[in-house]
Amino acid sequence: MEYAKNKFQKKLFLNFIVITFSRLLLNTSRRFVYTFAAAFSRGLGVPLTSITSLIAVNQGTSVLGIFFGPLGDRLGYKFMILIGMSFLAVGMLAAGILPFYWVIAIAMLLSGLGKSIVDPAIQAYVGQRVPYRRRGLIIGMMEFAWAGSTLIGIPLMGLLIEKLGWQAPFIAIGLMALISVILVAALFPSDQKQKRQAYRLQETLILWKQILTNRSALGALLFALFVSIANDNIFVVYGAWLEDSFNLSIVALGIGTSVIGIAEIFGESMTAFLSDKIGLKKAVFLGLGVSACSFAVLPLANQNLTAALASLFLIFVSFEFTYVTFISLCTELAPGSRATMISAFYAVAGIGRVIGAVLGGKIWEIGHLPGISLASTGFTLLALIGLVWGLWGWKRDHK
């Protein structure tokens, strides 16, 4: 009996390694285009705004996550992971083999769809397989795949571009995604057959009505929209900024991006160890204030690479701390419809990223770094205003 239990735990642990590897590929595919947008612009012979538009297409698929979650409940989590990783493999390999703008656009669409399909399925798979007392540990460990995309994935993509050309990252991610598909198919247990409750549109509409008539929930959605615009506004052009102002090579640019990964890990750790002690509500407002200041002083860092990297670190550590802390707070804003609240939050945040990606490229062309700084500061302040309006007088219901 003990042998069987240990064997099951080892197999489960191996599955989570595969899951984390798969998420690392999905996150890298979403984020590496930001860093090397200028290189892809030159390689394809298109303006930088055309590349930031591709990023917007990729981010836009985040909205579809609210549909893929329920679909996974019906079709099975393993099946959805296989579908999502297959989308990633096909898209990336096509982009690497056929270097045309429209093929890259389809690849970014498939990559985004893959992430929107896989993420809900993986979270549900963890909930199904991992005991509640260990769930926070496992999910927390898997989240390192997000920071790992900037600490590991993007620097490796930079080396590939430097040595083999701008198409190489697409082929590399595509081949590794194909390996992931094979591993999931071979190692994961078959999907369990479960009794499904009938889908009731009326009940779903009631849940959405509860969100849309809840001031604190609406304030949270305004926060999600504006803070996402502010962050992606700088994220889509920071690579072009560092390359243009400091003449960084592709490899140096990829390594420099690891600063963002370190900032994200630091921000997540701050949420874990500080936010509860400060109080979630106070911590969010504190993080937003620091974030607004970090955007405002960004032009002062334009003359020195160390100052530029330090500014990026401050921007991303404050954003990650604020964003992750607010997700914890968000779970209590609509206690009767938590899942609907979180799905709405992610969907609106995805819309914000699309707007930020489109605006960032255009603002960069017109106003360069001062324009980006002004816009991101303004949107962060709008997020703050929305949050003050939404949370004014709000107190957690302890019932």
CATH number at residue 247: 1.20.1250.20
Looking at the fold, whether 170 and 203 belong to one and the same domain comes out as no
Domain boundary among 188, 217, 252: 188
pLDDT at 188: 83
pTM of structure:
0.73
- Residue 387 one-letter amino acid: L
Helix 132-142 and helix 2-35: axis angle, to 10°? 30
For residue 184, being part of any structural domain is answered with: yes
User: 42 and 125 share a domain?
Assistant: yes
Answer yes or no: is 399 within a domain: no
Residue where one domain finishes, among candidates 143, 166, 188: 188
Same domain flag for 133 and 211: no
Domain identity same for 258 and 179: no
Asked whether residue 269 falls in the same domain as residue 244, the answer is yes
Q: Does 194 map to a domain?
A: no
- Whole-number Å distance between alpha carbons of 387 and 198: 36
pLDDT score for 92: 95
Q: Is residue 204 part of a domain?
A: yes
Predicted local distance difference test score (pLDDT) of residue 69: 60
Residue 177 resides in a domain: yes
Terminal CA-CA length for the chain: 42
Final residue before a domain boundary, out of 188, 219, 238: 188
**CA angle (357 as vertex; 351, 362 as ends), nearest 5:** 130
Q: Is residue 27 part of a domain?
A: yes
The pLDDT value given to residue 327:
74
Residue 368 is encoded by which pair of tokens?
């360069």
Place of tokens 């199904």: 128
CA 42 – CA 48 distance, rounded (Å): 8
Closest Cα partner for 152 from 173, 132, 167? 173
Q: How far is it, in rounded angstroms, from Cα 242 to Cα 344?
A: 34
> Does residue 3 lie within any of the structural domains?
no
Distances in Å between the Cα of 185 and the Cα atoms of 26, 81, 175, 313 are: 18, 9, 16, 39
* Residue pair 233/376 in contact by the 8 Å Cβ criterion: yes
Whether 181 and 206 map to the same domain: the answer is no
Amino acid 325: pLDDT = 80
Which of these, 122, 162, 357, lies nearest to 248 by C-alpha position? 162
Task: Say yes or no: 159 and 244 in one domain.
Answer: no
How confident is the model at residue 138, as a pLDDT? 64
Structural domains counted in the chain? 2
Q: Which domain holds residue 20?
A: 9-188
Residues 167 and 117 in one domain: yes
Q: Are residues 298 and 377 in the same domain?
A: yes
Q: What is the pLDDT of residue 300?
A: 92
pLDDT by residue for the chain (399 residues), tens digit each? 444 445 546 677 788 889 889 999 999 998 888 888 888 888 888 888 888 788 888 877 877 766 766 666 667 778 889 999 999 999 999 999 998 999 999 999 999 999 888 877 776 677 667 765 565 556 656 767 877 888 888 889 988 998 898 999 999 999 999 999 999 998 887 766 544 444 455 555 666 666 777 788 899 899 999 999 999 999 888 888 888 888 887 777 777 777 888 888 888 778 767 777 788 788 889 999 999 999 999 999 888 888 999 999 999 999 988 887 887 677 667 666 665 676 678 788 888 988 998 899 899 989 899 999 999 999 999 999 999 998 886 665 554
Question: CA-based angle 357:358:361, to the nearest 5?
Answer: 85
Burial zone of 299 (CB within 10 Å; 0-12 exposed, 13-18 middle, 19+ buried): middle
Same domain, 151 and 250: no
Residues 208 and 175 in one domain: no
Could you tell me if residue 2 is inside a domain?
Answer: no
Under DSSP, the state recorded for 337 is G
- Whole-number pLDDT of residue 208: 64
User: Do 260 and 238 share a domain, yes or no?
Assistant: yes
